[in-house]
Structure 1
Amino acid sequence: AGMVRCLAPQEVLDLVLRARPEIVGHRTDTVDLEEIGRTDALVVGPGLPGEDPRTRTGVALLADGGGLERGVIDAGGLEAIMPQQRFGADVVLTPHRGEADRLAERLGLDAHLPGPYLAAALAARTGATVLLKGAITLIAPGDGGPLRSQDDATAQLATAGTGDVLAGVLGTLLAAGLEGPDAAALAAILHGRAGRLASLGGRLPLVALDVADHLPRALGDILADALS
């Protein structure tokens, strides 16, 4: 990413900037993109409850007519989606199964559908691309295209915060201009392979920043394979 902006309270920014001083921090209690500056993609939800005004504002910015067409709705952001809201296919929802079930119930869908059908139903209902996280990650395009799946990940990724790493990778790929379904597919592969590298093929436990630290190597391996 050419520039990463973090919109957060000061105590959060202190932690983020200590680990990544190159990030541009914005101490704010609101989400005002005109005030903040150029934004190609917005990641909303990690670390925020659904009822937080910042969460609802971020989701509204990504909904049809909100002014921003590319982004990721994750974690608390999924709880802020209203039944009347529609999104474009370059907005990606990233629920795990429990979050997908709760979103389906709120949108009037059958939460007991098998994973592939649930992902497709959520995509059709919202217009967004849906990345349903799990042992096999499923990607249902918001434009009704073919379902995709990948199983590069390891069960060691089932720890708190690793999904936030996936959301960040996905946001970066969307900001670079990839279409929603392609960005979601590539993010899932990168995230899964970085997790396997960090856990030595699934043999060791890991935490979220372990995955982030292994993303460059995972990307390098993919590019090396493509060029060989």
Structure 2
Amino acid sequence: MTAGADPSVLVVDDHALVRSGIVGLLQAADCRVVGEAGDGHAAIDAAVALRPDVVLMDIRMPGLDGIAATEALVSRPDPPKVLILTTFDLDEYVYRALRAGASGFLLKDAPPERLIDAVRIVAQGETLLAPALTRRLIERYIQAPPPNAADPGPADLTPREREVWLCLAKGRSNLEIAQQLFLSEATVKAHVTRLLAKLGLRDRVQAVVAAYESGLIRPGEPT
């Protein structure tokens, strides 16, 4: 996406009325809706053909669901950002979608302005997920590793990178991490970039999931 440009969006939902309402909201806010799809197969075809910046993806659809479609899209070269739209805020499907590479999720009953903001945030390469909600999802659905699990993460992570990873897992923003570790925000951003590269992860959301799955942080630990 070119800096300053309005994001292009593909709207995916199996309910035509819902799609129509979302399309209207986006167009009224100058977001370019380049297409619509009613199931996962159609979403993949449309995304490949139209190359949107953001795919607004429903989860529960006939045929190919939104999780499988997300996995297929993010595995492609230069993939679009995927923003999950869901009716449920505590849903195993949402957790699986995050693991699949979605950049975040939004509830369908969110205010219209929140939807517009979410599309623009995700289009710029940021993730959109409330930290408290992230932890609730992960702690509900993850199976914690045994207490004697090996030290998590690649061996080449520096002690500072592990500290940053732990802060990410606890839902800290870059500013909060900078304040906690007495670093500049620019330094924190650099650590996050290197950390994601070493872990082979796409974004902060996946870093949070990986921290729980590896045992760096355990469900129920104070944050």
- Band the TM-score falls in, shorter-chain normalisation: 0.3 to 0.5
Quick check: which has more Rg, 1 or 2? 2
TM-score normalised according to structure 2 size: 0.38
